[in-house]
Structure 1
Amino acid sequence: IEKESKCEIYSLSSTIAGKHIHGETSHGSASIRGGKSHAVSERDLYAVLDTAGAVPLPKEQRVIHVLPSTYKIDNQDGIKNPLGMSGVRLEANVYVVDAAENAIQNITNCFQSCGRNLDSVVFQGLASSFSVLTDDEKELGVCLIDMGSGTTDITVYSKGAVIYTESLPLAGDRVTLDIALAKRLQSNVAEMIKVEYGSCMSEHISTDEMIELPVISNQSDGRNMRRQELAQIIEARYDEIFEMIKKKLEAKKIDFLYGSKVVKVVLTGGSANVHGVEALAEQVFQVPARVGAAQNIDGNIEELEGPEYSAIFGLLAFHHHHESWQKKIQNTVSKQGIFSKMYSFIKKTF
């Protein structure tokens, strides 16, 4: 990676996803150091977030994120950034994300087998949100649905803070399997026709439009398939995934209505690259939807502008926003920016 990107790497991180991911709200408090009416320092922030993140967990789970929502200093609440403000006691409302210890260890082992240490793991849905969502979307209320191959990861923001996360074991691979089983195709062939001819809106596909399927070994002639039939298979599975997400959020009293916690849906990930996915999402959630890809990327990297690269760029952006990380990369990265320097490596690898 260092050779391809021409960067010296100081820290290595990985995304993580799976049904073992859990999240919950929490609250913590701590005295502001220095006595009465002393200004809040970074040390005070770390202390209050440490207490807020100390939630009871099964021994097989580990906290990976403590995401602040709002702070309170004495009797003043609703504070977004308390640094420099004076008071006696600091409190924090946070969202805590935890993951399975063995899943983290497996990722760690992969890095160690390459002679490197893993510094941190980031929930995939959260990583993607850093590259895809705008500040306005986070403030107004947005549900990010990151549809990969093995999992669909959900991250909900409201008033600028994360209020819900979820990782579902249904995604693009399941859609490919549906096609393969329905038409008795090899999985690579099913994936190919899904990508090339797939759609989530069967009603928009003509009944006369045909797809020529590849010849398989025990047949002398190729077969045809109606493209509308392919769309019906894909639409059924995507509709199931969206309905599942909607029910889970409704169970948490997160509504998809104007003036409520979520007023928009943003879809990203490789499996969001399907015709009609926005229309189906709008039909299910009854709010505007868009397909999102990484934003504000420096350099001429058009080949990496698809939603399938959102988590990769989001992982970089996640750490780029941390001061200690930012200081280190400023010493080694040219004015082109970290994203441009990583282009060559990502292009060849993915």
Structure 2
Amino acid sequence: MSRTTPPRPLDVEALFPELAAYRGTTTRLHPRPGRPEVTVSSVGGPLLWPAGEPWPVCTEPHSHAHGRRPADIHRQRQILTAAWLRDPDTGPTDEERRLLEELGRRHHAHDAAAADPLPLIGLAQLYRKDIPDLPAGPDGCDLLQVFWCPFDAHGPSGHGMLLDLRWRRSEEITDVQTSPPRPRVVGFEGYVPEPCVLHPEQVATYPFAGLLPKDLCARIDAWEERLEEEAEQWADEDAAAVVGYQYDLSIPPGWRVGGFASWHATDPSPMDCPACAAPMHLLLTIDSSEWDGGSGSWKPLEEQGLPTHRFARPTQVTVGRGGELNVFTCPQEPCHLHRWSIQ
């Protein structure tokens, strides 16, 4: 079933005609639980990886012997989902609670040395044939595959993530790896995605307000302040429906490809290519949820009647404390190293 973004609550270009010059597009991926095939775009699904090619690994030395087993994480989620569908008021049975507690335990892989290569988790694969806003890869590559390490133990601070992007030509792969290596334990369950099929939808988008010309940004801020002042005179339930540029009119939430990055958690930061200094473009946004619990104006029309708390996190991926990861690429040379920002 396709997913359709509702019309925006207001025509933002009618309010601010200058925005027409900055309009862009982004492809909302709309991941939903399913059983994706290796030949389609997916999150957490099987990857089109050559059988004879080594699986990507993390080679940065760090402890990875203590954590949760991926199979336990998947099973725990299955039990919780089944309990919610059965009766959202009573929740899991006593026996299920006992099992959930057991599955939630951390384990120790005694023979896992810090210097041993650690298999990365295959997070997603995206085909250009499926995703309108996915740019061409280097040398005509049509398939982007995204991996990450399941431990926050990288970089100078020793608490950063490790992301690995691979481009390839899908038509060159005939013998597919069917049993890729997996990490025995993971440091954070938010790194373990649930298999999801995608329902790509291209929508209009506009830049983060702080990156617009100062006079236009100031007018948008003043408009939002007036709305907030008016909302203070309304009943509480009406105040929750106040429309804002950032959360309702410009940048969609959720997993998406292309468009503009949000800088709602930090000030905008220049994202220039470390190799050639070209201003980088947003390639991919990995989000912890598909829509928020506020106005929910981005919730697809097909899912308007579904509870937000159950259906807003189909991938079960969590970035940081529940934010989003924006991945940037060089528009001049896609083979240059990517950069990212957590918001």
Question: TM-score range with shorter-chain normalisation?
Answer: under 0.3
Structure of larger gyration radius: 1
**Which structure is higher in strand share?**
1
Using the size of structure 2 for normalisation, the TM-score is 0.24
TM-score by length of 1: 0.24
Higher relative contact order (CA 8 A, sep 6+): 2
Judging by fraction of residues, say which structure has more helix: 1
